[in-house]
Chains A and B, each alone.
Chain A
Amino acid sequence: MSALSELYQEVILDHSQRPRNFGPLAGANRSARGDNPLCGDKLELALSVRDGVVERAGFEGSGCAISVASASLMTEAVAGRPVAEAEALFERFHRLVAGDEDAPGAGEEGGDGDDPAVAKLAVFGGVRRYPIRVKCATLPWHTLRAALRGADEEVTTE
Chain B
Amino acid sequence: MAQPLPRPVPAAPAFDVAGVRRDFPVFTPGLYEPRLAYLDSAASAQKPRAVIDAVSDFYSVSYSNVHRGIHPIAARADAAYEGARATVGRWLGAPRPRDVVFVRGTTEAINLVARSFLRPRLSEGDEVLVTELEHHANVVPWQIVCAEAGARLVAAPIDDRGALLVDELARRIGPRTKMVAVAHVSNALGTVVPVAEVCRLAGERGVPVLVDGAQAVPHGPVDVAALGCDFYAISGHKMFGPTGIGALWARGDHLAAMPPFQGGGGMIRSVAFAGTEYAPPPARFEAGTPHVAGAVGLAAAVEYLEALDAGGAMAAAAAHEEGLLAEATARLAEIPGVHVVGTAPEKLGVLSFVVDGAHPHDVGTVLASEGVAVRAGHHCAQPLMDRLGLAATTRASFAFYNDREDVDALVRGVVRAREIFGR
Residue ranges of A at the interface with B (Cβ–Cβ < 8 Å)? 2-4, 7-8, 13, 17, 38-40, 62-66, 130, 133, 136
A64 to B365, CA, bound (A): 11
Partner of B377, one of A8, A39, A63: A39
Q: Is B330 interfacial (CB-CB < 8 Å)?
A: no
The distance from the CB of A13 to the nearest CB of chain B, in whole angstroms, is: 7
Partner of B361, one of A3, A13, A17, A136: A136
A106 to B41, CA, bound (A): 44
Given A4-B365, A40-B378, A64:B359 Cβ within 8 A: yes
Q: Which 9 A-B pairs have the closest CB atoms?
A: A64-B359, A40-B391, A64-B361, A4-B369, A65-B362, A40-B392, A64-B362, A39-B361, A39-B377
Residue ranges of B at the interface with A (Cβ–Cβ < 8 Å)? 357-362, 365-366, 369, 376-378, 385, 391-392, 420-421, 423
A-B pairs under 8 A by CB, number: 43
Report chain A residues within 8 Å CB of B357: 17
A17 to B362, CA, bound (A): 13
Report chain B residues within 8 Å CB of A62: 391
Report chain A residues within 8 Å CB of B377: 38-40
Q: Is the CB of B365 within 8 A of A133?
A: yes
Name the residue of chain A whose CB is nearest to the CB of B363: A64
A15 to B249, CA, bound (A): 52
Given A17-B357, A65-B359, A39:B420 Cβ within 8 A: no
A136 to B360, CA, bound (A): 13
Using A8-B420, A65-B359 as known contacts, list a sample of 14 further A-B pairs with CB atoms less than 8 Å apart, ordered by residue number in A.
A4-B365, A4-B369, A13-B421, A17-B421, A38-B377, A39-B361, A39-B378, A40-B392, A64-B359, A65-B358, A65-B362, A66-B361, A133-B361, A133-B365
A108 to B366, CA, bound (A): 35
Report chain A residues within 8 Å CB of B359: 39, 63-65
Report chain A residues within 8 Å CB of B362: 8, 64-66
A63 to B376, CA, bound (A): 13
A63 to B421, CA, bound (A): 14
The distance from the CB of B383 to the nearest CB of chain A, in whole angstroms, is: 13
The 9 listed contacts between A and B (C-beta, < 8 Å) are A3-B369, A4-B365, A8-B362, A13-B421, A17-B357, A39-B376, A39-B378, A64-B361, A65-B362
The distance from the CB of A24 to the nearest CB of chain B, in whole angstroms, is: 21
Q: Is the CB of A39 within 8 A of B392?
A: yes
Q: Is the CB of B369 within 8 A of A2?
A: yes
A41 to B341, CA, bound (A): 20
A130 to B366, CA, bound (A): 11
Report chain B residues within 8 Å CB of A64: 359-362
Partner of B366, one of A4, A13, A38: A4
Which of the listed residues A2, A4, A13 has the most CB atoms from chain B within 10 Å of its own CB?
A4
The distance from the CB of B374 to the nearest CB of chain A, in whole angstroms, is: 13
Name the residue of chain A whose CB is nearest to the CB of B391: A40
A112 to B271, CA, bound (A): 72
Name the residue of chain B whose CB is nearest to the CB of A68: B359
A147 to B55, CA, bound (A): 51
Given A4-B365, A38-B377, A63-B359, A13:B420 Cβ within 8 A: yes
The distance from the CB of B377 to the nearest CB of chain A, in whole angstroms, is: 5
A40 to B376, CA, bound (A): 10
Given A62-B391, A65-B358, A17:B423 Cβ within 8 A: yes
